[in-house]
Amino acid sequence: MTVNTPLLSVSALSKHFPPVAFGRGPVVRAVEDVSFDVPHGQVVGLVGESGSGKTTIARMAAQLVAPTSGRIIFDGLDTARASRAERRRLHARIQYIFQDPFASLSPRMTIGQILTEGLDIQRIGTANERREKARSVLASVDLPPDALDRYAHEFSGGQRQRIGIARALALEPEMIVADEPVSALDVSIQAQIINLLRELQIRLNLTMLFIAHDLAVVEYIADTVIVLYLGRIMEKAPARQLYSAPQHPYTRALLSSVPSPDPTRRANRQILTGDIPSPANPPSGCVFRTRCPVAIDACAGIVPPLREVAPGHFKACIRDDLDGLMVQGAVR
Ligand SMILES: Nc1ncnc2c1ncn2[C@@H]1O[C@H](COP(=O)(O)OP(=O)(O)OP(=O)(O)O)[C@@H](O)[C@H]1O
């Protein structure tokens, strides 16, 4: 398979949850009309503030929840049409790394049991082969073999996340969905875990969907970055291009909050004020318009389509020439 073949392809994906209050009121539009590919052997970073729908997309991609509408194609298979056996295989082929390494590891199981559980469920190998696999994945996350007989509470946060990564690797997945794998960790540990994931991704040629709420976290791991806001894609671009020439006012605002040695980034600072609106009652037209420094009346009227503004670089915004507009601040 070539590098550019999408291993995962999602199109027009939406997820609506029932109304929170006693089944009455509007549905929660957690994800709305999201399409993207994750090419074989590449890392796609999915970034947005809390409540933007990142986890919901990650869970749909990993086959943990079903979409309300839209399609998810994995390695050519329309996952909604997968047979029982194909679905069971998908749960091995796509592995999930959870945000919270404290909550996601059972306190009653040894690390050995945690690492072999997936192999047991998938009925892969003999007991000895599973134990050997557990030993080798532990080594690949730089933990010693004696960890196998210990319990999660005996490890630090960073070590527990290494165990979470080892658990995901035990099934030799083709795809990893990493849901904010470093946001619960101390800043000093975050870079170590990101570096480890990058190293493993390259060595094992893994395809990865990497979720983060902070653009800085995915800068060194993602090939492509997708910026989400209130369940919709605002901008999608090759990583280098997104950081050097962001085209959407929301991306620019997010980048402004990242400390940067780059003077052009500092000069174009745009501070985001106000809270993200409720996905049960999103603004009409462009969902970002209520916090956008360059919104105009027309933004309330239409949902801006994702349009290609440079090769492979898409933005959902009707405004052009942001440089001129944003230097002046709010233009109405
Ligand atoms: N099971 C559910 N029932 C109702 N609403 C839900 C459910 N799961 C998520 N939501 C809502 O959907 C929206 C998107 O949630 P999601 O967890 O996907 O966002 P997120 O970007 O991952 O946020 P965070 O960074 O806080 O995890 C939120 O408003 C959330 O409250």
Distance 28 CA to ligand 1 centre (A): 9
Q: Global pTM?
A: 0.91
> pLDDT tens digits for 209-262?
999 988 988 998 999 999 999 999 999 999 999 999 999 999 999 988 766 666
Bridge-based pairing state of the strands 77-78 and 94-97 = unpaired
* Closest protein CA for atom 16 of ligand 1: 53
Ligand 1 close to Cβ of residue 30 (< 6 A): yes
* Closest protein CA for atom 3 of ligand 1: 17
User: Is the distance from CB of 308 to CB of 314 less than 8 angstroms?
Assistant: yes
Mean pLDDT of the chain, nearest integer: 90
Which one is predicted more confidently, 270 or 275?
275
In this predicted complex, what is the ipTM? 0.97
* Closest protein CA for atom 18 of ligand 1: 53
Ligand 1 close to Cβ of residue 282 (< 6 A): no
User: Pick from 214, 193, 216: which is nearest to 50 by CA?
Assistant: 214
Contacts of 275 (CB under 8 A, 6+ apart): none
Residue to mutate (ligand 1; options 47, 49, 50; most atoms within 8 A of CB): 50
* Closest protein CA for atom 17 of ligand 1: 55
Distance of alpha carbon 167 from the chain centroid: 19
In this predicted structure, the answer to whether residue 38 has a pLDDT above a threshold of 50 is: yes
Ligand 1 close to Cβ of residue 53 (< 6 A): yes
In this predicted structure, the answer to whether residue 302 has a pLDDT above a threshold of 60 is: yes
